[in-house]
Amino acid sequence: MTATLIWTLVVLVAIGLYLSWTAGRLDRLHARIDAARAALDAQLLRRASVAQELATSKVLDPAASIVLYEAAHAARQAEEEQREVAESDLSQALRAVFADPRQLDVVREAPGGDAAARELTEAVRRVPMARRFHNDAVGAVRRLRQHRKVRWFRLAGHAPFPMAFEMDDEPPPALADRAA
């Protein structure tokens, strides 16, 4: 009788430790999502700021400046629900403005243009990486939250179900060639 009670207690403690470890892992993954989202937001803001700065520098032709400025401004001011669309629009505007590789050469020839072109190239290159890190973290949490033990014991608590950030982040060919 005593041996059965001890073994039952050992099994219950082992199950409790395992569930506690799983809940801690889930918590760490949620923290990783928060950090990845902050990094993604920083990179998106940087890209929009550089694009807006370039649009107001009078280096580009007026039509390209207006298109780029409006897209960058909309991306910076977008509400959370419209953020993916606004960022995709900025990607499309960047591709439209820099569809001709000579446009980047025009920017580089202007005073301070080489630094601006380099900063834009880096910002455009970092956005897909930051988005990939964020979406990878979201995928890891989703996979763990789909396990029965997480659902049955409600190990996720009241944390919202994570959503991936889906946007068009393909860089303009002129900037992608130089980023590699």
pLDDT, tens only, 145-175: 999 999 999 998 888 999 999 999 999 998 8
User: Which letter does DSSP use for residue 110 in this model?
Assistant: S
Cα 51 to Cα 72: distance, rounded to the nearest angstrom: 6
Of 113, 105, 110, 112, which Cα lies nearest the Cα of 178?
105
Q: Would you tell me how many other CB atoms lie within 10 Å of the CB of residue 132? A: 14
Question: Which two tokens mark 17?
Answer: 């430790």
**Cα dihedral 29, 30, 32, 33 sign:** positive
Mean pLDDT (whole number) for 17-44: 96
Of 78, 82, 85, 94, which Cα lies nearest the Cα of 45?
78
Q: Is 60 exceeded by the pLDDT of residue 178?
A: no
Cα 14 to Cα 102: distance, rounded to the nearest angstrom: 66
Cα 66 to Cα 138: distance, rounded to the nearest angstrom: 35
Q: Is 70 exceeded by the pLDDT of residue 46?
A: yes
Q: Is 80 exceeded by the pLDDT of residue 90?
A: yes
Q: Is 80 exceeded by the pLDDT of residue 177?
A: no
Cα 103 to Cα 60: distance, rounded to the nearest angstrom: 8
Q: Is 70 exceeded by the pLDDT of residue 179?
A: no
Cα 31 to Cα 142: distance, rounded to the nearest angstrom: 14
